[in-house]
Amino acid sequence: MPFRFEFPAVVRNTARFYGDGLRSMTLGRSLWLVIAIKLVVIFGILKLFFFPDYLGTHFETNRERADFVLEQITHPQPSTSPGGELDD
């Protein structure tokens, strides 16, 4: 007799519960669409192109990051000069 894998009943019932619930939504579909678009914009555009982790992208190791921050806090650069143009 061929082996046939079946998920436990609790898993099947839970999946059916969520599946039925999602299918029966009317307003919920619009809301999921809003959430999906928002997540794409937040993670796919904002995070990727506009919000890199400054220390994560500029340094390889935590030691380098710690040294950089230590340098920053012990020899801070002026931040109130007009324009405040600093290193990028």
Partner 1 sequence: MIDHLDLTMVNWARAQFALTAMYHWIFVPLTLGITWIIAYYHSIYYKTGNEEWKRLTRFWMRLFAVNFAIGVATGIILEFEFGTNWSNYSWMVGDIFGAPLAIEGLFAFFIEATFFAVMFFGWDRVSRKFHLFSTWMVAIGSNLSAVWILVANAWMQNPIGQEFNPDKARFEMTSFKDIVFSPIAVAKFTHTTSSSMVLAAMFIISVSSWYLLKGRHQVMARRSIIVASVFAFLASLFVIFTGDQSAYTVAQKQPMKLAACEGLYRGEEGAELIAFGILNGNKKIGDDQKPCLFKIGVPGMLSYLSNRSFNSFVPGIEDMVSGNPSRNIMGTGQKMEMGKTALAALAEYKDKTTSGDAAGAAAALVTFNANKQFLGYGYLEKPEDAAPPVALSFYSFHFMVILGTLFPVVALAFLFFAWRDTLADRKWLLRLGTIMFFLSLIAHWLGWIVAEVGRQPWAIQDLLPVTVARSNLTVGTVQTTFFLFLALFTILLIAEIGIMLKQIAIGPEEG
70 is an interface residue for partner 1 by CB under 8 A: yes
Instruction: Tell which residue, 73, 42, 68, 70, has the closest CA to residue 55.
Output: 68
54 is an interface residue for partner 1 by CB under 8 A: yes
The whole-angstrom separation of Cα 68 and Cα 66 is 5
- Residue of 7, 12, 15, 55 interacting with partner 1 (CB under 8 A): 55
48 is an interface residue for partner 1 by CB under 8 A: no
Instruction: Tell which residue, 57, 59, 77, has the closest CA to residue 67.
Output: 59
Summarize as ranges the residues that interact with partner 1 (CB under 8 A).
Answer: 17-18, 20-22, 24, 27-28, 30-32, 34-35, 38-39, 41-42, 46-47, 50-56, 62, 65-67, 69-77, 79-88
